[in-house]
Chain A
């Protein structure tokens, strides 16, 4: 099936620009007439992922494929990886530094939130190699 493919480089050195990719996807879905409720679920899930890439993994690549009935998002980084994915998924667990918390993030809600707002979420991670998060959100 035909899809619209959107690709972004997520700059890990620039905290201010974190969210650019999610915003662009949000705008595109809005223009396509996707329901506001679905657009918001996509925006929040992807933004959480994008923030994670910036604060934990020095950035990476975000690819979104938009189908008529769903969006599939891949967030790929070459950061430190996640040693214990089950633990990372626990609400409130965070490895964020005090500096990140002072910016308003690192409450340990990112991954649980991404799961909450998506219909499917898969995490593949190797310590020292990187992490890929797959998200599917149905419209």
Chain B
């Protein structure tokens, strides 16, 4: 699926990176623990998280991820959005909770 499909499926709002919505995505991971993302994630290109600090964007950048989805209606501060924009990472926010958001993407064909 594409990031555009994720926006539709999760009824998400685009915070930045709207020009990259047609990027193809195959796998995702969900975690509030960046240490675990760094330790266990392999080639996942989307991170779903409820954590909002700048290190979420840094972690995604180190892992070559393309998109971060903030769950539970969370919204990062402007400096986090600016950092993501600078790195070319798409930021989305959805009202859905982490389990539900992951489940929707998984049942629609996104792998783990």
Contact across chains for A110 and B62 when beta carbons are under 8 A apart: no
Given A47-B38, A104-B53, A109-B39: A19 in contact with B32 (beta carbons within 8 A): no
Tell me if A71 counts as interface (CB < 8 A to partner B). Answer: no
Given A19-B58, A51-B55, A112-B39: A44 in contact with B63 (beta carbons within 8 A): yes
Interface size, chain A (Cβ < 8 Å): 25
Q: Specify which of B33, B62, B63 is in contact with A104 (CB 8 Å cutoff).
A: B33
Per-residue A-contact encoding for B44-67, CB less than 8 Å = 1, 0 else: 000001010111101101111000
Contact across chains for A40 and B35 when beta carbons are under 8 A apart: no
Contact across chains for B54 and A16 when beta carbons are under 8 A apart: yes
Contact across chains for A26 and B62 when beta carbons are under 8 A apart: yes
Where the two chains meet, the residues of B that have a C-beta atom closer than 8 Å to any C-beta of A are 32-36, 38-39, 49, 51, 53-56, 58-59, 61-64, 79
